[in-house]
Amino acid sequence: MRRLFLVSADGGRRPVMRSTERVDIGRPQQLARRLISVSERHRVDVEHDPVFGRARAWVRPRGTAWPMAEELFATAPARVIDKQDKNFEPEWEALTSGSTAQLPLA
């Protein structure tokens, strides 16, 4: 999942833009173990809730000030579908690359 927290021309906060891509399907505990294992190998912080079998690993943690971008892998219910807000890719590219980039990729 990738999210963009953008500001308008007048400095107001725009609605959050999202891009979601399903990478795998499986049982919650199995997917959480896999995400934890891969995250640890790549030294990416991971959050795990063993009670519900969910895990999240931030490749690009959210900042504290708008505009900002966040990118993470997360286990989720199987009903989650691939989806992306209109114009997400150009907005992502503009915020995360070149001289306007806020955070380096991990």
pLDDT tens track for 26-69: 888 888 999 999 998 989 989 998 788 789 999 999 889 999 99
CB 49 within 8 A of CB 43: no
pLDDT of residue 87: 94
pTM for the model stands at 0.80
Q: pLDDT-based confidence at 21, cuts 50/70/90?
A: very high
pLDDT of residue 98: 55
In this predicted model, what pLDDT tens digit does every residue of 62-90 receive, in sequence order?
889 999 999 999 988 888 889 999 999 99
